[in-house]
Amino acid sequence: MTTWRAASATNVGLVREANEDALLVTPTMAIVADGMGGHAAGEVASELAVSVFARLLVEQPSLARLNEGLLEANAAILADAQAHPDRTGMGTTLTAVMGVEYDTGTALAWVNIGDSRLYQLRDGAIKQITDDHSVAEEWVRQGRLSKEEAAVHPRRHQLTRVLGMEEAKDGDTGLLSVQVGDRLLLCSDGLSNEVSDAELAELASAPHGLEQAVDALVARALANGGHDNITVVVLEVESVSIEVPEQFRAEAPLSRASFAPASGPSQAAPVVRRSQRRRPWWMTWRSGAFLATLGGLVAGVFMVLSWYAHSAFYLADYQGSVTVYQGQPHGFLWYEPKVALQTVFKSSELLPGDATRLKNYISEPSLAAAIRHASNMHTSWVVSSPTPAQ
């Protein structure tokens, strides 16, 4: 597998009254969303986008489904705004990195819509992977503005693609070509607007530890003004199972032949043909059949036990968040339940009855149902609150 270690933080900044950013980090997925719309609307849009996108991609992680996740999140935001007219016009950016499975291993895919960013760091150098979907940055790509002019242009905050638009638009997607030790930085524009690329490279790279890097980035953004919410995720690649061409950007759904696996025909070892051996005298067809049947029965028993142990899902509290677990609530034999997804919803932001039930556990038949239940509980709390959630 291609795996990573991670650290993250979000900060309201020095000017905003509320934090409208949202993030989600799991062993296989990292998402940053920057909401907009004022009052509680931006916060609702970003959290809704993260939860809907994560739910769809956890069920079927693939490069081809990244934009399906964006479209579902877009539809959910529009539906929520229609149900709550005071949230009309809310929207959010979304930038994500996740592992996608192929026959030969796991690759890291990315998706971006809006102006939150993904950077890749290697040996102290930094490379911006995503393109901002803003008027000023598009003019830079057209040669109408320099990068320095775009940084202070009045239309640098006018986004051309974002979740929450009536006319849904695709995001940019691609695969990352990574090496062990590479770092990936996901952030909202509250970081990238305040901190230069050179500073990002200096603070986010090794030998700084991940937590140290995240804290230093947030501190630098605050020191440079902190005019917006600041959200930072830093990932460090621990293992790589597929070689991907440099800067693979998908213009169409990826085919399995679009990149070469880490080991293939060009790297294959010489073929060694086994010489024929005489079968031992005791290996008759009867004994072989008996052993095969016995092995099949044993394997079948273990498969049934494993299926039962992992067939259940439930909601419980973990580190102050509503968390989805997979497994039997109290464990089964030697199988212990595992965290399937830590949602963006806080355990403290639930109605009293839901909070009481969460202290025990809330069983659901599937991961999707569990995520939906968590979202519904949080929505019920938001609707019943006398003032917008902060």
Instruction: Please tell me whether residues 222 and 320 are part of one structural domain.
Output: no
User: Is 120 domain-assigned?
Assistant: yes
pTM of the complete model: 0.65
Q: Are 20 and 119 members of one domain?
A: yes
Among candidate residues 250, 269, 285, the one where a domain is terminated: 250
The 10 Å CB-count burial string (b at 16+, else e) for 205-238 is beebebeebbbbbbebbbeeebbbbbbbbbbbbe
Residues 353 and 219 in one domain: no
What H or E segment, with its residue span, contains residue 214?
A: helix 210-223
**What is the structure's pLDDT at 264?**
32
**Is 245 in the same domain as 323?**
no
The confidence score (pLDDT) of residue 313 equals 85
What integer pLDDT is reported at residue 266 of this predicted model? 29
Residue 304 lies in a domain: no
Give the number of domains in the chain: 2
Residue 268 within a domain: no
Q: Assess contact for 221 and 12: CB atoms under 8 A.
A: no
Residue 7 lies in a domain: yes
DSSP H helices in 125-165 = 135-141, 147-152
CA angle 210, 215, 219 (to 5 degrees): 150
The residue among 250, 268, 287 that closes a domain is: 250
**Alpha helix ranges (H) inside the chain:** 41-59, 66-83, 135-141, 147-152, 189-192, 197-204, 210-223, 285-310, 352-360, 367-384
Same domain, 76 and 202: yes
Q: What is the phi/psi pair of residue 29, to 5°?
A: -150, 140
- 317 and 229 co-located in one domain: no
pLDDT number for residue 284: 54
pLDDT for the residue 178: 95
Which DSSP letter does residue 282 get? T
- For residue 40, the model assigns a pLDDT of 65
Question: What pLDDT, on a 0 to 100 scale, did the predictor assign at position 260?
Answer: 39
Same-domain check for residues 162 and 28: yes
Of 250, 280, 296, the domain-final residue: 250
Does residue 246 sit in the same domain as residue 317? Answer: no
Q: Which residue has the tokens 């639930």?
A: 350
Is residue 118 in a domain? Answer: yes
Strand partners, 314: 325, 363
Same domain, 318 and 228: no
Are 223 and 332 members of one domain?
Answer: no
In a domain, 283, yes or no: no
Q: What is the pLDDT of residue 288?
A: 61
The per-residue pLDDT string of the chain (390 residues; one tens digit each, 9 = 90 and over) reads: 789 999 999 999 999 999 999 999 999 999 999 999 865 689 999 999 999 999 999 988 998 899 999 999 999 999 999 999 999 999 999 999 999 988 888 899 999 999 999 999 999 999 999 999 988 777 777 888 777 777 677 776 789 999 998 888 899 999 999 999 999 999 999 999 999 999 999 999 989 999 999 999 999 999 999 999 999 999 999 999 888 866 544 443 333 333 433 333 223 223 222 233 334 434 455 566 667 777 777 777 777 777 776 778 889 988 888 888 888 877 777 778 888 778 878 888 889 889 888 888 898 888 778 888 888 888 888 878 765 444
Same domain, 316 and 178: no
- pLDDT at 345 (0 to 100): 85
Supply the pLDDT for residue 286. Answer: 58
CATH code of residue 180: 3.60.40.10
Residue 269 lies in a domain: no
Q: 131 and 228 in one domain?
A: yes
Residue 185 in any domain: the answer is yes
Query: What range defines the domain where residue 64 resides?
Result: 3-250
